[in-house]
Structure 1
Amino acid sequence: MDLPPELRWREWMLRVEAVIFAAAEPVGRETLARVVGKDCSIDLLIDDLQEALRDRPYEIVFAAGGWQHRTRPAYASAIRASQASTGGGALALSDFEAMVLVAIAYFQPITRGDLSKIFGREVSRDTIASLRGANFLASGPRSPTPGAPYTYVTTKHFLTAFGMETLRDLPDIEALEDAGLLSRTATAAETDLAPAGDDEP
């Protein structure tokens, strides 16, 4: 590209923004390097893009191993009030579906039976199907317990939808216990499970 350095940099910024804007999933470093070349600093380009978008209602954020465009949280109520159809984001979950998803995120891989023990009521196949349909869950390894039931794990889309890079970004489990949202003591006693570690699904 035969452009003066400052115009070349601006062109690279526009190319990177266009790729991130058009992508349905977070865009990784390798993909962006193919667009601007391996010698270009992706981090500096992203920094300049984030600065250029500072006064816009959207931003570029890093989630699930790549960058993506996100509407700024301050505009969430305006978007909801508009009732406009949006492309993506977190599906509207019932309270129970959300709590099941939280339990899976912390205790994965986990069976439906173990989830039922956590909640003291059956976690239906329909609840699991709904979370799978939203692409928040995938099948994990078969459980070593009798019958070898399926286990469930969260997906990369789960990380993306909730703005996390890895499972390490989940809120501290002690904070959830303090808020009365999750009881690790009861759960561990009933299901003999430990919380999910630092590994991504």
Structure 2
Amino acid sequence: MARQAPEFDRELADLAPELRWREWLRRVEAVLFASATPVPRDALALVVGQGVSVDLLVADLAVDLEGRSFEVARVGDGWLLRTRAAYAAAILAAADIGDQELDLREFDVAVLAAIAHHQPITRDGLREIFGKDISRDLIGRLHARSLIAPGPRSPKRGAPYTFVTTDRFLAAFGLESLEDLPDSEQAQDAGLAGG
């Protein structure tokens, strides 16, 4: 069942235009701040007036955040707030990031790169790339970290499961979309894909 947004004044007709825009901007910022996953345009549209350009609000928010320690990032079909990469060492030194740290080994990243480049891909497909079986444990760890998800069943005999990457994968690696992945040759040169 679809979640209903709380009743509140989206139009803000009683405010001057510049104050109305500023309030819509802050609402978008609050939603992005509170969300653990990228927020799509249609969800952000629930907190602003009819006919308001969410894209312009997000662009203005990005400008507002210039010079700050965090930024608006486009991930998949939505946006999120994330800390700028320049502050990663400070966060690791002092912040309790709990289960946010991915703690991936080099081979884990190589498997993720292969899934991203060849998705949807089966375990057999991964075996062909790496020349060895990919353990269920590794697939389980990547799934538990929400970096991969089940894809469509393969049309091959027995309809094996396939794997695809998620928006969390895109966010974790600073990508807006899969089009931002390095090409297969660059990934192999970096040691991130089987050869």
Give the TM-score range, shorter chain. Answer: 0.7 to 0.9
- Look up the match of 1:38: 50
Letter in 1 for 2:175: M
Decide whether aligned partners of structure 1 residues 12 and 128 sit closer, same or farther in structure 2, where only a CA change above 3 A counts.
same
Which whole-Å CA distance do the structure 2 matches of 1:181 and 1:153 have between them?
17
User: Can you give the 5+ residue segments of structure 1 that lack an aligned partner in the other structure?
Assistant: 187-201
Q: TM-score, normalised by structure 2?
A: 0.83
The Cα of 1:87 is off from its aligned counterpart by 6.7
Decide whether aligned partners of structure 1 residues 14 and 99 sit closer, same or farther in structure 2, where only a CA change above 3 A counts.
same
Decide whether aligned partners of structure 1 residues 23 and 122 sit closer, same or farther in structure 2, where only a CA change above 3 A counts.
same
1:71 maps to which of 62, 83, 95: 83
**Aligned positions, number:** 183
Query: Which whole-Å deviations, capped at 9, do the CAs of 1:126-172 have from their partners, x for residues lacking one?
Result: 11111111111222233344444322222232223323332212112
1:153 maps to which of 129, 147, 164: 164
Q: Contact 2:146/2:166 (CA < 8 Å) preserved in 1? A: yes
Which whole-Å CA distance do the structure 2 matches of 1:5 and 1:146 have between them?
61
Which whole-Å CA distance do the structure 2 matches of 1:9 and 1:88 have between them?
36
In the TM superposition, 1:105-124 aligns within 5 A as 105-124=116-135
Aligned residues: CA RMSD: 2.1
| Residue 91 (str. 1) matches residue 87 (str. 2) | no
Q: TM-score, normalised by structure 1?
A: 0.81
Which whole-Å CA distance do the structure 1 matches of 2:151 and 2:130 have between them?
20
Which whole-Å CA distance do the structure 1 matches of 2:155 and 2:19 have between them?
59
> What SS does structure 2 have at the residue aligned with 1:141?
coil
Decide whether aligned partners of structure 1 residues 162 and 116 sit closer, same or farther in structure 2, where only a CA change above 3 A counts.
same
In the TM superposition, 1:172-187 aligns within 5 A as 172-182=183-193
Q: Contact 1:90/1:161 (CA < 8 Å) preserved in 2? A: no
The Cα of 1:3 is off from its aligned counterpart by 1.4
1:135 maps to which of 146, 155, 161: 146
Which whole-Å CA distance do the structure 2 matches of 1:33 and 1:40 have between them?
8
Decide whether aligned partners of structure 1 residues 63 and 87 sit closer, same or farther in structure 2, where only a CA change above 3 A counts.
farther
User: Can you give the 5+ residue segments of structure 2 that lack an aligned partner in the other structure?
Assistant: 1-11
- Identical amino acids, percent of aligned pairs: 55
